[in-house]
């Protein structure tokens, strides 16, 4: 209504503070309540997503265990601490070790590209690869996750260690499409050069840091399920 | 350039992932205050100042939240603190520089509900930036916002003279221009890699 | 303008439909664009974003309309923001629990619903002045209009950019997708085209009824 001769008197500051405090408290309780209810389903979603990715890069694996590589040490983590782990061992249904899944990341075209790859200790090569997160250009850089010819690079990408066991014998390299001549080279995708190179860098950096540690402690990985 | 180097973080927020043109943040002032260059520039400066203050506040709050394990209150505390920070900036400017206040004054309240500020605070938290990185990120984001706003204002000043169909309202044409600007900014992707 | 607070407390059908079409928050009043355009690159994402925003709008309208006489005028904006932020946090956790894939696709933009000017605007202009039933009906209409608008932008972007609709392939393998429509420029361009269409329709209708179209056209 338009006639407002005198504005209503200012309520006391105490009333203002009390109202705000009451609303804030109510909101706090609601949020905590929602947090408690969703805690369990969220943790389950994360676990399922992680397992799906791990089993994808380690063909034949049906079970996983969490490990953490820190400096030169490899430690086993409990099953529910998948978030903290950076190395996941995958086991076949008879309990034998299929391989190890590890994360790598490198700067792509638009943002960081996070990848997960499977490493077979037996064959000393990378046997699987999937993109966890990327915002590469759809139709171009995005192909690193779907292009069949590119994914064929990871049927067995050579990551043997040097004689001293401290680093890769032959660092992984991304070369132009169709130029691959060595087993440690990745055939890039035409039109997605930067993204293909990012994948190569992510794998090289992560593999040369983690694989020596993993081979040093290979005992721990096989013991975990025996 | 390393992905976490300061120069790259600045470049990323400034051009590659420009807040307005790539992330769609801060569209309301982008469309509302971009009619004239003379209003666009002060608005941009105000956003840079507020972003910088908000970045410091958000970093401090996040430390407290993580320390006590109450991250679920993050959103509520961020929005409350940003709103108060804007008020504080407003009062400080008013006290120490009335000239500056006359220039920026009317834009400051608008900024409280500007998604770019809260977006910046959330992104810096999600990216686990250190204190220095957060500050550089906020400066880059603010500068990127100012750049987009200024470019847009320049274009719209020219547009006044153009002969457009009757149905082409200011908003529709602005978004079309924003789309073309955004397309140009995509050329910055891959910079520094 | 909206027939806000005209003394009638009974909700009318008009309250519901005005938010959907005549005062559509996205196409007509241009509110709440920021957190919404960014994730409208597929039909599913835009629908989820629209529904999440609509839920927050309904929840906050409910509480604010209920408490409208208890909240002093001086602290009303602060109270509204706290209430909205609460509902947004709840929605954020709910989406996270329902689907991780959706949560990753929407990212930080769920939390950014809190600064959606459409919600605060509705709360301030309508919920704080009207009784519960009327405020709820208005919020329902606005929420539906918002969801519809996002869905219209999102479906066009998905159909042209991916050649799919809700993930179902439409054109067969030979279709060359227009990647630009999934990228940020596509969002701006599709929205701009919808705005052009809306203003064209509006002008045609105004011309037919002999009225001059409301609102000065600035250019």
Contacts of B9 in chain A (CB under 8 A): none
Q: A87-122: per-residue pLDDT in tens?
A: 888 888 888 888 889 888 888 776 788 889 999 888
pLDDT exceeds 70 at position A175: yes
Specify whether the CB–CB gap between A173 and A159 falls below 8 A: no
Binary contact (B72, A31; C-beta < 8 A): yes
Binary contact (C86, A41; C-beta < 8 A): no
Tally of domains within chain A = 1
Tell me how many residue pairs between chain A and chain B have CB atoms under 8 A apart. 29
Segment C176-190 mean pLDDT: 87
Between residues C63 and B171, the one the model is more confident about: C63
DSSP H or E run through C160: helix C132-162
Adjacent-strand bridge partners of A168 = A161
Segment A195-204 mean pLDDT: 88
Q: How far is A110 from chain C (nearest CA, A)?
A: 12
pLDDT exceeds 50 at position A1: no
Q: How far is C167 from chain B (nearest CA, A)?
A: 24
Share of chain A above pLDDT 70, in %: 92
pLDDT exceeds 60 at position C214: no
Contacts of A106 in chain B (CB under 8 A): 3
Binary contact (A110, B16; C-beta < 8 A): yes
- Radius of gyration of chain A, Cα coordinates, nearest whole angstrom: 25
Q: Which of A17, A22, A25, A31 to mutate to test the interface with C (most CBs of C within 10 A)?
A: A31
Q: What is the spatial distance between Cα C120 and Cα C112, in angstroms, rounded to a whole number?
A: 13
* DSSP helix/strand/coil, C140: helix
Binary contact (A194, B17; C-beta < 8 A): no
* Neighbors of chain C with 3 or more C-beta pairs under 8 Å: A, B
Contacts of C100 in chain A (CB under 8 A): 42, 45-46, 48-49
Residue C48 is predicted with a pLDDT of: 93
Contacts of C123 in chain A (CB under 8 A): none
Query: What is the residue whose two structure tokens read 């279709």?
Result: C175
The conformational region for residue A105 under phi > 0 = left, psi -120 to 50 = alpha, else beta, is beta
| Interface residue C89 vs chain B (CB under 8 A) | yes
Nearest-by-CA chain A residue for B5: A107
Please choose, from the candidates A74, A138, A75, A131, the residue with its C-alpha nearest in 3D space to the C-alpha of residue A104. Answer: A131
Q: What is the spatial distance between Cα A146 and Cα B172, in angstroms, rounded to a whole number?
A: 37
As a dihedral over the C-alpha atoms of residue B2, residue B5, residue B9, residue B15, rounded to 10 degrees, the angle is: -60
Nearest-by-CA chain B residue for A109: B190
Q: What is the spatial distance between Cα A107 and Cα A194, in angstroms, rounded to a whole number?
A: 9
Contacts of C122 in chain B (CB under 8 A): none
Binary contact (A137, C86; C-beta < 8 A): no
Specify whether the CB–CB gap between B117 and B89 falls below 8 A: no
Residue A20 lies in a domain: no
Tell me how many residue pairs between chain A and chain C have CB atoms under 8 A apart. 69
Q: A123-174: per-residue pLDDT in tens?
A: 888 888 888 887 777 777 778 888 888 888 888 888 888 888 788 888 888 8
Nearest-by-CA chain A residue for B13: A111
Binary contact (A194, B190; C-beta < 8 A): yes
Adjacent-strand bridge partners of A117 = A102, A129
Residue A80 lies in a domain: yes
| Interface residue C94 vs chain A (CB under 8 A) | yes
Please choose, from the candidates A137, C203, C40, the residue with its C-alpha nearest in 3D space to the C-alpha of residue B168. Answer: C203
Specify whether the CB–CB gap between C32 and C156 falls below 8 A: no
| Interface residue C182 vs chain A (CB under 8 A) | yes
Q: B51-77: per-residue pLDDT in tens?
A: 999 999 999 999 999 998 888 888 888
Neighbour-count burial of A116, counting CB atoms closer than 10 A to its CB (0-12 exposed, 13-18 middle, 19+ buried)? buried
Phi–psi pair at A80, nearest 5 degrees: -90, 5
Residue A35 lies in a domain: no
Contacts of C86 in chain A (CB under 8 A): 26-27, 30-31
Nearest-by-CA chain A residue for C82: A24
Q: How far is C166 from chain B (nearest CA, A)?
A: 23
Question: Which residue of C33, C187, C217 is in closest CB contact with B170?
Answer: C217
Q: B87-138: per-residue pLDDT in tens?
A: 787 888 788 878 877 776 666 766 766 788 889 999 999 888 999 999 999 9
Residue A59 is predicted with a pLDDT of: 87
Q: How far is A146 from chain C (nearest CA, A)?
A: 14
Residue A14 lies in a domain: no
Binary contact (C196, B168; C-beta < 8 A): yes
Q: How confident is the model at residue C213 (pLDDT cuts 50, 70, 90)?
A: very low
Adjacent-strand bridge partners of C168 = C165
Report if pTM > 0.80: yes
Nearest-by-CA chain A residue for C102: A45
Residue B141 is predicted with a pLDDT of: 94
pLDDT exceeds 90 at position C53: yes
Give me the domain span that covers residue A83: 41-223
């Amino acid at each position: 209504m338009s006639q407002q001769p005198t504005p209503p008197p200012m309520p006391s500051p105490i009333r203002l503070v009390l109202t705000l405090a009451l609303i804030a408290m109510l909101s706090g309780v609601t949020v905590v309540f929602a947090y408690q209810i969703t805690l369990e389903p969220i943790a389950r979603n994360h676990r399922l997503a992680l397992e799906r990715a791990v089993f994808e890069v380690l063909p034949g694996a049906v079970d996983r265990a969490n490990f953490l590589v820190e400096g030169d040490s490899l430690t086993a983590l409990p099953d529910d601490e998948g978030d903290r782990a950076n190395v996941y061992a995958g086991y076949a249904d008879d309990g034998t070790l299929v391989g190890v899944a590890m994360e790598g990341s490198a700067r792509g075209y638009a943002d960081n590209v996070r990848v997960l790859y499977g490493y077979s200790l037996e064959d000393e090569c990378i046997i699987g690869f999937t993109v966890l997160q990327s915002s590469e250009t759809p139709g171009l850089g995005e192909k690193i996750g779907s292009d069949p010819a590119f994914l064929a690079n990871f049927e067995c990408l050579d990551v043997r260690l040097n004689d001293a066991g401290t680093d890769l014998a032959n660092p992984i390299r991304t070369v132009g499409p169709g130029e691959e001549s060595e087993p440690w080279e990745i055939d890039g995708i035409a039109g997605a050069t930067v993204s293909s190179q990012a994948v190569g860098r992510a794998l090289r950096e992560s593999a040369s840091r983690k694989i020596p540690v993993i081979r040093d402690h290979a005992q721990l990985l096989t013991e975990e399920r025996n | 350039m390393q992905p976490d180097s300061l120069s790259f973080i600045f470049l990323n927020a400034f051009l590659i992932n420009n807040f307005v043109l790539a992330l769609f943040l801060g569209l309301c002032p982008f469309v509302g205050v971009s009619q004239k260059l003379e209003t666009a520039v002060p608005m941009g400066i105000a956003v840079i100042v507020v972003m910088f203050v908000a970045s410091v506040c958000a970093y401090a709050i996040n430390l407290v939240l993580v320390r006590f394990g109450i991250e679920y209150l993050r959103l509520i505390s961020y929005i409350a603190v940003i709103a108060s920070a804007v008020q504080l900036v407003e009062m400080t400017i008013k006290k120490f520089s009335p000239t500056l206040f006359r220039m920026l004054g009317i834009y400051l309240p608008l900024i409280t509900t500007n998604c770019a500020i809260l977006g910046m605070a959330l992104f810096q938290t999600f990216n686990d930036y250190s204190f220095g990185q957060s500050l550089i990120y906020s400066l880059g984001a603010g500068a990127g916002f100012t750049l987009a706003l200024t470019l847009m204002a320049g274009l719209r000043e020219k547009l006044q003279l153009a002969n457009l169909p009757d149905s082409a309202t200011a908003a529709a044409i602005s978004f079309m221009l924003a789309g073309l600007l955004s397309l140009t900014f995509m050329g910055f992707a891959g910079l520094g890699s | 303008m909206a027939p806000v607070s005209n003394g009638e407390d009974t909700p009318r059908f008009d309250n519901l439909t005005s938010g959907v079409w005549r005062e559509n928050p996205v196409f007509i009043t241009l509110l709440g664009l920021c957190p919404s355009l960014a994730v409208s690159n597929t039909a599913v994402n835009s629908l989820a974003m629209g529904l999440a925003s609509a839920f927050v709008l309904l929840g906050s309208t409910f509480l604010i309309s209920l408490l409208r006489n208890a909240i002093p005028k001086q602290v009303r904006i602060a109270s509204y923001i706290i209430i909205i932020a609460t509902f947004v946090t709840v929605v954020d956790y709910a989406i996270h629990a329902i689907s991780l894939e959706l949560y990753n696709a929407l990212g930080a933009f769920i939390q950014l619903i809190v600064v959606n000017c459409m919600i605060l605007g509705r709360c301030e202009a309508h919920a704080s002045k009207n009784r519960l039933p009327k405020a709820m009906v208005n919020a329902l209409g606005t929420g539906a209009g918002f969801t519809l608008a996002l869905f219209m932008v999102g479906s066009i972007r998905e159909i042209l950019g991916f050649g799919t609709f809700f993930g179902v392939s439409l054109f067969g393998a030979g279709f060359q997708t227009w990647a630009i429509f999934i990228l940020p420029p596509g969002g701006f361009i599709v929205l701009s085209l919808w705005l052009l269409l809306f203003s064209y329709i509006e002008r045609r209708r105004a011309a037919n009824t002999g009225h001059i179209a409301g609102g000065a056209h600035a250019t």
